[in-house]
Structure 1
Amino acid sequence: MVLRKAVLLGRGFKPNFFGKQAETRICIVSSMSGIRSFVSGSVHNSAKGAISRFANAISLELAPEKIYVSNIRPGGCDTGLYDENIVKSRIAKIRESFGFGSDPDDIRLMPPSSVGKAIVNILSSDGHITSVNIVARGQMPHEGS
């Protein structure tokens, strides 16, 4: 459902939609899960991967119209999702599969404001930042950290 909505929304980003702006910038927030898989994450990983690939493709399609699309792929954020014991247990199993400890209370998360700051950086940059991988320091499996 999320991918379908992203595609429909992205297809609507045509020059007339934004009026006579000199350029337009769009940030699509997907997930590090789209580029790094984990045990029992096949459906989640493939859905997030599809959103990342869509962001890349739509970026190429819209760039000639001066509509610049950026993909932000955050890792785990401290949004409260990881507070539930069932989630902690699953994360512990995933950590163990990567060779990390299985302590369910040792989940490294970043504050959601980190994602907000990345968006501000992208939107205020003089260049076209095509993608950003952002994870908490020490977040397993260290890809992008």
Structure 2
Amino acid sequence: MKLFTMLFLSLFVSKSCTGQTKNDLKLAVMEYTASTRGFYQKITIENQMVSVSKDRSGTEKPIVTKISDKDWKELVSYFEAIHLESLSTLKAPTEKRFHDGAAIANLKVTYQDKSFQTEAFDHGNPPESIKKIVDKINTFAKKE
């Protein structure tokens, strides 16, 4: 009986810990921005909706659309794989943004009342660990 109780408790504890390690995209707001002197783009994802703005001043209304279930599932899988705490330590693979060779981009995630943000990287060439999600986010701006 003790063995059964120990097995049950260890299974219960391991299941509850596993469930807590995955990020839940429904509770997050992701903001991807890219800019240069003549270009600006802000893509915000929140609760299966995407907002795309190309107006730096914020006077024009952003284009808001619903994310398809297929795209949402893909985003969720990429988001679950991100280690939010390490976003600020990611190193950019290239430095074209230093000489106007690429727009300056960053990814900011607000999750459970905490903000996590990357250092600047080249638009179109994010750090490898967030490449899939950044590339997916950028597909929403290309649909315009």
TM-score tier, shorter chain, comes to: under 0.3
TM-score, normalised relative to structure 1: 0.26
The answer to which structure has the higher helix fraction is: 1
TM-score, normalised relative to structure 2: 0.26
Report which of the two structures shows the higher radius of gyration computed on alpha carbons.
2
